[in-house]
Amino acid sequence: MKKYSAAISNEAERRKKKLGRMFLWAVLLIFAVFQFFPMLWVVDFSLAKDNQLFGSEILIWPSEPQWENYVLAWTNGHVLQYTLNSLFVVLCTIAITVFFSLTLGYAFTRMRWKHAGMVLSFVLLGMMIPIHTTLLPNFLIYKRLHMLDTPWALILPYSAFSIPLGVFIMTGFLNSLPASLEEAAVLDGCGVMRIIFQIALPLTKSAVATIAVMTFINNWNEFIMACTFIGTPDWKTLPFSVYEFAGQYTSRYAVQFAVMVLSSIPALLVYALLNEQITKGVTYGAVKE
């Protein structure tokens, strides 16, 4: 008898658990749909005819998908050229950021010097400064130096604003790493550059990867500096595809949507490949290790 009732309560328990799980799934699914629906809407109407947007349907069934929207978007949106420009700018920024995060991080954690703590806090302050406060003075400076319309007008400020986060990640990582290997290298008479790039770099691979993806995520879609410092199509970056297209083809809604979809693909690809690293980078420092 006792066994029997236990079986019943077990059964009830299991059912309750199952119900709870279904509820959990439902809530998460609804929310995921809520987060995705706007994007789905854009993709949907990017395959429609321009005037279909004015119908009463919320989503349409693309019975005759207008692939030529994408052809037009690709050719007139300068997607390829602007992607390559973005790629050049961001890769340079990543290289500079990683290099200086390593050298600075190394000097802050492995060497003893006066005011090291103060200088470090100063560098980290950079994370809190809004880029917008430097727009006007930088514009005036780059104008004077004839740097406007060159990629360096983006690479320099992007790097300057990325290095503080890089140093933050690198110092945290180096602090948790024993210095014994490097000490051995010093005794062997290695120079400091060799120590950093031949011994420390391989050891800090995961921090370097995190810094690289965070620099990518933070700068790839940057728009306001690009639109202030760059006016020539030679160096415009990817967000301009959407911006220019919306300005030139105001009534071609479907094609605008197609440009939006196309210009999102590179970042989505990177995210698909590196989402673990990105998760790590975003949460870094928020949680005490």
Partner 1 sequence: MLSNKRTIVFLVVPGLLVIFAGIVFPILMSVYLSVTDQQGAGAATFVGLRNYIQIFTADKTFWISVLHSLILALGLICIQHPLCMLFAILLDKIGGKAEKIFRVLLFVPNVISIMVTAKMWQNIFNATFGMLNKLLAAVGLSALCQNWLGDPKFVLGCVIFIVMWQGFGYGMLIYYAGVKGISQDINEACEIDGARGLTKFFRVTLPLLLPVIIVNVTLAIISALKEMEIVYLITDGGPGISSQFPALYLYQMAFRNYKYGYANAISVVFVAICLIVTYFYNRALKARDA
Chain positions 96 to 155 lying near partner 1, rule: CB under 8 A, are 96, 100-101, 103-104, 106-107, 110-113, 119, 123, 125-126, 128-141
Q: Which of residues 66-95 bind partner 1 (CB under 8 A)?
A: none
149, 202 contact by CB (below 8 A): no
Give the position of tokens 């390593």. Answer: 102
Q: What are phi and psi of 65, to 5 degrees?
A: -55, 130
Q: How far is the CB of 1 from partner 1 (least distance, A)?
A: 26
Question: How far apart, in whole angstroms, are the C-alpha atoms of residue 246 and residue 13?
Answer: 57
Q: By the 8 A CB rule, do 226 and 236 touch?
A: yes
What residues between 146 and 205 interact with partner 1 by CB under 8 A?
156-157, 159-161, 163-164, 167, 179, 182-183, 186, 192, 195-196
Stretch that binds partner 1, among 49-57, 65-73, 75-83, 205-213 (CB under 8 A): 49-57
Angstrom distances, CA of residue 134 to CA of 126, 157, 167:
12, 9, 21
Assign residue 63 a region (left: φ > 0; alpha: ψ between -120 and 50; beta: otherwise): alpha
1 lies in the binding site for partner 1 (CB under 8 A): no
The Cα 186–Cα 193 span in angstroms is 11
Smallest gap from residue 264 Cβ to partner 1 (A): 5
Q: Name the residue with tokens 């789905």.
A: 40
- Site size toward partner 1, by CB under 8 A: 92
- Tracing tokens 């658990």 back to the chain, one arrives at 17
Whichever of 202 and 285 has its CB closer to partner 1, that residue is: 285
Q: How far apart are CB 156 and partner 1 at their closest, in Å?
A: 5
Shortest Å distance, C-beta 89 to partner 1: 14
By CB under 8 A, what part of segment 237-256 binds partner 1?
238-239, 242-243, 246, 253, 256
Binding-site member from 54, 63, 118, 232 for partner 1 (CB under 8 A): 54
Which among 1-9, 76-84, 204-212, 220-228 is the span making contact with partner 1, rule CB under 8 A?
Answer: 220-228
**Of 39, 84, 181, 273, the one binding partner 1 by CB under 8 A:** 39
Q: Tell me the closest approach of the beta carbon of residue 5 to partner 1, in angstroms.
A: 21
Which span (10-18, 32-40, 69-77, 205-213) binds partner 1, by CB under 8 A? Answer: 32-40
58 is a contact residue toward partner 1 (CB under 8 A): yes
Quick one: 4 or 84, whose CB is closer to partner 1? Answer: 84
Q: Other CB atoms closer than 10 Å to residue 228's CB: what's the count?
A: 17
Q: Are 102 and 204 in contact (CB under 8 A)?
A: yes
**Dist. CA 257–CA 263, nearest whole Å:** 10
The closest of 226, 255, 278, 287 to 88, measured between CA atoms, is 226
Q: How many angstroms separate the Cα of 100 from the Cα of each of 36, 164, 183?
A: 38, 10, 21
Stretch that binds partner 1, among 36-44, 62-70, 77-85, 201-209 (CB under 8 A): 36-44
